[in-house]
Structure 1
């Protein structure tokens, strides 16, 4: 029973976060109220406040949850799999069919990206995103340390790997927003992690 309860709570949290994102993209950050987000999901504002302290935190939660899932998926990879192959495979899980993908806001790519640009420029959201990135990076460093037999408090390596992966995710996200013609986030993140695994070789130009 507790497992079902936890899944329902996770589903409500994700639905509220996606609703916050969708409404902010459609209307702009300042024109979305907590009541609007709660109503979109069919819950009360009090229920919203049980999950999030602000609409900015609700928006940043999608990035945080996906990033934390990467650490969980890395722990589940075969122990004999090379580290960077395991990291890439763990990162790609977020694009597989499931509740997270199915709840993603639909709509025209150009409208969605245009809204994201406005949304990500909000100072309140930037602060929440920085906190989300820091929390996710710390958890990934722990997972890398467990996998490599290093000490997250004493060794540079797991923290450096986590920071590099975080940079890859953020860079891929920025390219997703500004790429012309459009490129999928899945392709961008896969390419970024592949280049990291290869040691960031200098591109061959003609």
Structure 2
């Protein structure tokens, strides 16, 4: 094995160990919350159950609430983010009436699908989070606030890609509309009767939205 390949293998192993630890923390936090309520256990008890130190816990999550919600708000995948950013630059890039590149919708779609694939979120994960929110409904505010924060992150990367001002209202509108479609696609994807891939569901929602907004005013 070459030095480069060996380095990649080491980084891959570290990433898998980190993901396993993070998943173990979230799983335990949800179990503790369902059984004891949010205030019925301490971070020290959670750490003891997982077999980690308090310091390690805070390397992964800033609070119990964040540990319970888990990795819904992971960073954008680096490769997908690079492809998205590159899509708005270059000579001869076609732009629409609002000055946005005509490939923006397609590239937002690919970035969102890449994020979902990275999360590897299962129906069991969804059911566990729903059970936790039944016990502690205020955690829904945490989830909703995270979704709003993610929309602002999307708006930021759109302005950077499209060369727009940081507070451009068009970027925030696009991010908000796309976020709504993405959440609805997720709801359908994680429903018990669904057999479709997330990519196909989101693509269908986008096609319906395009038909609707194409209606002349």
Give TM class, smaller chain: 0.5 to 0.7
Task: Tell me what 1:19 maps to.
Answer: 24
Residues 154 and 175 of structure 2 are in contact (CA less than 8 Å); yes or no, is this contact kept in structure 1?
yes
Correspondence for 2:85: 75
Q: CA deviation at 1:45?
A: 2.8
- Structure holding more helix per residue: 1
Query: Does the 8 A contact of 2:29 with 2:46 survive in 1?
Result: no
Partner residue of 1:45 out of 50, 54, 61: 54
Question: What CA deviation, in whole Å up to 9, does each residue of 1:168-188 have, x standing for no partner?
Answer: 222223223435245444433
Q: TM-score, normalised by structure 1?
A: 0.66
* Matched position secondary structure for 2:52: coil
Aligned-residue CA RMSD (Å): 3.9
Q: CA deviation at 1:95?
A: 4.8
Q: Which of 147, 156, 171 is 1:142 aligned to?
A: 156
- Structure 1, unaligned runs of 5 or more: none
Looking at both structures, which has the greater relative contact order when contacts are Cα pairs under 8 Å and sequence separation is at least 6?
1
Match of 1:94 in 2: 115
| 1:12-46 deviation line (CA, Å, top 9, x unaligned) | 76445423443466x46333754565457642233
Task: Map residues 1-206 of structure 1 onto 2, 5 A cutoff.
Answer: 14-23=19-28, 27=31, 29-31=33-35, 34-35=43-44, 38=47, 42-65=51-74, 68-69=76-77, 72=81, 74-77=84-87, 79=89, 80=93, 82-96=103-117, 100-101=119-120, 109=123, 113-121=126-134, 122-153=136-167, 155-196=168-209, 198-200=210-212
* 2:164 partner SS: coil
Please list every run of 5 or more consecutive structure 2 residues that lacks an aligned counterpart in the other structure: 1-7, 94-101
**Larger Rg over CA atoms:** 2
Q: TM-score, normalised by structure 2?
A: 0.64
C-alpha distance 62-150 of structure 1, shift in aligned 2 (>3 A): same
Deviates further, 111-120 or 31-40: 31-40
Residue correspondences, number: 188
For residue 130 of structure 1, report the CA deviation from its aligned partner: 2.5
